[in-house]
A = this chain, B = another copy of it.
Amino acid sequence: MKSTTDLNMVNAYIPGRADVGASTTAMIQRRDALLGPAYRLMYEHPLHIVRGEGAWLIDADGRRFLDVYNNVTSLGHCHPAVSEEICRQVQTLATNTRYLHDTILELAERLLATVPETSLAHLMLTCTGSEANDLAYRIAKMRTGGSGIIVTETAYHGITDAVSQFSPSLGTSVDLGPHVRLIPAPCHYHAEGVDLNERFTQDVEAAIADLQRHGIKPAMLIVDSLFTSDGILPGPAGFLKGAVEAIKRAGGLFIADEVQPGFGRTGEHMWGFQRHGVIPDIVTLGKPMGNGQPIAGLLATADVLKEFGQRSRYFNTFAGNTVSCAAALAVLQTIEREGLIDHARKVGKVLLDGIIELQARHPAIGDVRGAGLFVGVELVADRLTRTPDRWLTSQVVNRMRQQGILLSACAKGHNVLKIRPPLILSEEQAAMVIRALDQALTEAAAARTGQLNPVV
C-alpha cells in the first residue's frame, strides 16, 4: 500500500508489524489521530526523542543514539553558538525584511563571498528548501520563457505543488508534471567503464530534444550534485560539465540544489557543485543553513533575477527574519571557526575507509562511495548481477537502530545506506559506526539464512 510512495522510507514504521510496547503504541495512535494519514515515523521501533547534544539524541528512557542521519543539525544538536544567537535575537527583535536590518546584509555578504569565482550576486531568502526550489523554478520560467524541467529519476527537490511535480522520489502516485523529463542518475557502479560526463551529457541532450519535440521550451536542469536520493553518487570531479553546457545551449538554466551537499558536507568546498568546475545560474540552499532554525534560500546571478525583479516583488513573511538570519550567520561563523570542512574531509575518510575494509568480509556490500561526511553503502543480493537487496538494507537500518546508531536508506532500489552525520562527528564516533555496521551486516546475513530472527 505504501510502497510506491515511500521510496526513501524503507525503514518506516508500519502499524501492527512490530511490538513496540504499550506506551509507544498509545503515543503513535494519538499521533495518527491528530496528524492524520500523511505522516511517517522512522524505524520499525519509532523513537521518542526528548534531548539532543552534539551527535547524540537521547530518548525518553535516557537511552543515547548516535545520530548519523540528520544533516539539518550539521554542527551537532543544540550547538551553543547557534542557540545563544537565537535566544539573544528572539529577545531583541523578530521581524521581517520590509525594514532595514544589519544581520541579513552580513549574512548575504558572507554567503556570496563563498562563491567568488561565479557571477552569483544576490541572496534571496525563503523558509524551506522546497520554497527555495519553487522560487528557483518561478525565476527560471520568467527568465527563459520556458517551463521544461530535467531531473534525475529518483531525485527529491521538495513538496510544494510545483516542486513535487519534479520530485520523482515521492513515488508514482504523486503525478509528475508533463513538462518534466527524468534522466538516469550518473552512477559509475551500474555503468562501469562508461564516461559519465559523456553519458550524462547525452541523457540531458536527449531530454532537451524530447521536451522540444513536445513543444516545451526547457527552463532548467536541476541537480543535487551528490545525487543524494538517487543513491549518493559523488562520481568523478568534473562530470557535470557537459550537461551544464547542454542546458545553457538550449536556453535553460542550471540550478545546483545544495540543500543536501551544501555547507561543507563534502569536505572539499562549501558547495557540492564546486568540485565540478561548473557555474550555476542559481544555487538553492536549505537544511543545515540554520542548524535547525527554519531558513533556506538561493543565490542567483543579476542576469537571471532581472526579469523576475521587473515582473514581481518577493515578500515571504518569515523568510529573512532577524532570528533566522542570526542563526544562519552563527552557522557560517562556526563552520569557519571550528574548521568543519577540513574536519568533514578527515573524518569522512576514516568512515569511508573503514566501511571499504568491511567489504572484504561482507559480500552484501556491493559499493561504498562518498564525499566528506556523506557516505553511501550499496547492498546487493549478488555482486555479479548487482541486484538491490532491499530486505537486507531494512534489516541493517533497524539493527543499527537497535545498537543505538541512527541512519537510513535511499536509491531507486531502496538498498543504499545513507550515512550523513553532523560535521562535528569525531573519529571515535566514526569507528563506532563502522563496528556497529560490521555487526548489523553479520546479524542481517544470519537472519537471511534463518540463524537469527529478522527484525520486525
Stretch at the interface among A44-52, A250-258, A332-340, A444-452: A44-52
* CB-CB contacts below 8 Å: A51-108 with B: 51-52, 57, 70, 72-73, 77-78, 80, 82-83, 86-87, 90-101, 104-105, 108
* CB-CB contacts below 8 Å: A268-325 with B: 286-287, 291-294, 300, 302, 305-306, 308-319, 321, 323-324
Bound-complex Cα distance A119 to B162 (A): 29
The residue in A35, A36, A159 that gathers the most chain B C-beta atoms within 10 A of its C-beta is: A36
Bound-complex Cα distance A47 to B100 (A): 6
Stretch at the interface among A125-133, A351-359, A387-395: A125-133
B49 lies within 8 A of A77 (CB): no
B97 lies within 8 A of A39 (CB): yes
Q: Which of B160, B170, B309, B317 contacts A36 (CB 8 A)?
A: B309
Q: Return the CB mask of A148-162 against B: 1 if under 8 Å, else 0.
A: 000000000001111
B28 lies within 8 A of A100 (CB): yes
A385 within 8 A of B: no
Q: A50-B93, A93-B51 are in contact. Are A98 and B40 (CB under 8 A)?
A: yes
A312 lies within 8 A of B122 (CB): no
A367 within 8 A of B: no
A112 within 8 A of B: yes
Closest to A2 in B: B313
A9 within 8 A of B: yes
> What residues on B are CB-neighbors of A27 within 8 Å?
100, 105
Q: Which of B138, B291, B318 contacts A127 (CB 8 A)?
A: B318
A164 within 8 A of B: yes
A224 within 8 A of B: no
Q: How many copies does the complex hold?
A: 2
A41 within 8 A of B: yes
A195 within 8 A of B: no
Name the distance in Å between A413's Cβ and chain B's nearest Cβ: 19
Q: A39-B314, A95-B52, A287-B317 are in contact. Are A324 and B294 (CB under 8 A)?
A: yes
B161 lies within 8 A of A160 (CB): yes
A37 within 8 A of B: yes
A42 within 8 A of B: yes
B86 lies within 8 A of A73 (CB): no
B162 lies within 8 A of A160 (CB): yes
* CB-CB contacts below 8 Å: A152-180 with B: 159-164, 170-171, 173-174
Name the distance in Å between A55's Cβ and chain B's nearest Cβ: 13
Q: A95-B49, A95-B77 are in contact. Are A128 and B36 (CB under 8 A)?
A: no
B91 lies within 8 A of A83 (CB): yes
A78 lies within 8 A of B96 (CB): no
Instruction: Say what secondary structure dominates the interface of chain A.
Output: mixed
Interface size on A, residues (CB 8 A): 104
> What residues on B are CB-neighbors of A442 within 8 Å?
none
Q: A122-B34, A316-B128 are in contact. Are A162 and B159 (CB under 8 A)?
A: no
A198 within 8 A of B: no
A310 lies within 8 A of B46 (CB): no
A31 within 8 A of B: yes
A52 lies within 8 A of B293 (CB): no
> What residues on B are CB-neighbors of A163 within 8 Å?
161
B129 lies within 8 A of A128 (CB): no
A123 within 8 A of B: yes
Q: A34-B109, A40-B313, A300-B36 are in contact. Are A24 and B100 (CB under 8 A)?
A: yes
Bound-complex Cα distance A169 to B42 (A): 41
Q: With contacts A160-B160, A171-B312, A286-B317 known, what are 15 further pairs, Cβ within 8 A?
A: A9-B313, A35-B97, A36-B124, A37-B308, A40-B313, A42-B99, A49-B99, A50-B93, A50-B101, A73-B95, A129-B317, A138-B164, A162-B162, A292-B321, A292-B323
Closest 5 CB pairs of A and B: A37-B309, A36-B122, A94-B292, A161-B162, A294-B318
